[in-house]
Amino acid sequence: MTIIRGATTIPCDNADEIKKAVKEMLEQIESRNDLKRDEIMSLVFSSTSDIHSYYPAKAAREAGFGLSGSLFSAQEPDIDGSLKLCIRVMLFVEKNFEPRHVYLRGARGLRKDIAQKVQIAIDGPSGSGKSTLARALAKHLNIAYLDTGAMYRACGYKVLEAGVDIQNETKVYDLLLGVKIDIAYEGDEQRTLLDGKDVSGFIRTPEVALAASAVSAYRSVRYHLTEKQREIARRMSCVLDGRDIGTFVLPEADVKIFLTARPEVRAKRRFEELKEKGYAVKPDEILKEIMRRDEQDSTRAVAPLKKADDAVEIDTSDMTADEVLGAILKIVGEKIG
Ligand code: DC
């Protein structure tokens, strides 16, 4: 048997708000755990002492849950410091699996000892600050960081190194099919391995960036790498950054952020970053490369760069990295506690 926990809050003690919040929480639990309704054996609700207007269990039954099992709701004592207007649920399911607990609208888990895997998606165009922020966020939360762009860069690097015509999808796919891309961690640092060789130091050049963008448009390449990214995200709590994490790789991610910035600001950031790493680059070339990649990444047919409907957009043009981190931590706190 598996027990899934959930919690949500309501803005005021009102029957319609209770019905809406209970339905939303149960639907989220159902979809994030890939459940069928008849697999749910019973549901036990508790609500904080400031909720009187409606039974959460009744709201659940009206939303079509627990029709073949048992339902129960109780009220919690009024304890100092407890979250206000909060409804919790424990859902019992017959089969055994690793549960994904669901905390919505600022509700938090009471049991810190229950390991909850979180997936945080950060998408946006190049130079929007994704990797700096994703890395800082992962460090702050003490979870893993997966730079998915590095995987596409490793593919682009391979194609350039092999001298294969990048416009020829069949040839590119044939080449990449036999290639092994692995991600390893050295402390906080992600190392990108191509057929066992560490290529992290070779994949940051503008040429490799453009090649990465070109091969990333091929369906065959994307599906291959997407599976790898999902596999990593299933194993551990992590922050993933890329172009399609919230829309395609992890549509069920707990938190989705979409970072943007004006093109000139992004080009300046990229220029400073490359200059610091010792690459001889020109600012106007970087701006051109960024504009070309924006065009390529957002117009491709498969999983283009696009904000997910439920992502929070932040324009980082006039913000410091610390300010962006603060804003993201606030969003993370509201979504998952
Ligand atoms: O984030 P980056 O600049 O390292 O990414 C390099 C290229 O890889 C980018 O131009 C588009 C592609 N990419 C992608 O299509 N999907 C991702 N999730 C990450 C990167």
Q: Which amino acid is at 243?
A: R
pLDDT for the residue numbered 116: 63
Residues 133-155: b if buried by 16+ CB within 10 A, e if exposed: bbbbbbeebebbbbbbbbbbbbb
Q: How far is the CA of 116 from the centre of ligand 1 (A)?
A: 28
If you search the block for the tokens 């992004």, which residue do you land on? 266
Residue nearest atom 17 in ligand 1 by C-alpha distance: 242
pLDDT for the residue numbered 292: 93
Cα(155)–Cα(228) distance, integer angstroms: 13
pLDDT for the residue numbered 162: 97
196: left (phi over 0), alpha (psi -120 to 50) or beta: left
Ligand 1 pocket: which of 146, 172, 216, 274 to mutate (most atoms <8 Å of CB)?
216
The pLDDT tens digits for 272-293 are 988 988 888 899 999 999 999 9
Q: How far is the CA of 217 from the centre of ligand 1 (A)?
A: 10
DSSP helix/strand/coil, 58: helix
> Which residues sit opposite 75 in a β-bridge?
47
Q: How far is the CA of 318 from the centre of ligand 1 (A)?
A: 23
> Which residues sit opposite 103 in a β-bridge?
7
CB 328 within 8 A of CB 254: no
pLDDT for the residue numbered 114: 47
CA of 245, closest atom in ligand 1: 18
Residue nearest atom 3 in ligand 1 by C-alpha distance: 126
CB-based contacts of 201: which residues, under 8 Å, 6+ apart? none
Q: How far is the CA of 213 from the centre of ligand 1 (A)?
A: 6
**Beta strand pairing status for 2-9 and 102-103?**
parallel
pLDDT for the residue numbered 80: 75
Tell me which residues of the chain have a pLDDT lower than 50: 111-114
CA of 130, closest atom in ligand 1: 1
Residue 173 tokens read as 């796919």
Residue nearest atom 11 in ligand 1 by C-alpha distance: 213
Residues with Cβ within 6 A of ligand 1?
126, 148-149, 152-153, 209, 212-213, 216, 242-244, 293, 297
pLDDT for the residue numbered 232: 86
Residue nearest atom 18 in ligand 1 by C-alpha distance: 242
Ligand 1 pocket: which of 132, 199, 213, 220 to mutate (most atoms <8 Å of CB)?
213
Cα(101)–Cα(336) distance, integer angstroms: 10
CB 236 within 8 A of CB 144: yes
Residue nearest atom 6 in ligand 1 by C-alpha distance: 149
Domains in the chain, ordered, with CATH?
2-107 (3.30.1330.40), 119-335 (3.40.50.300)
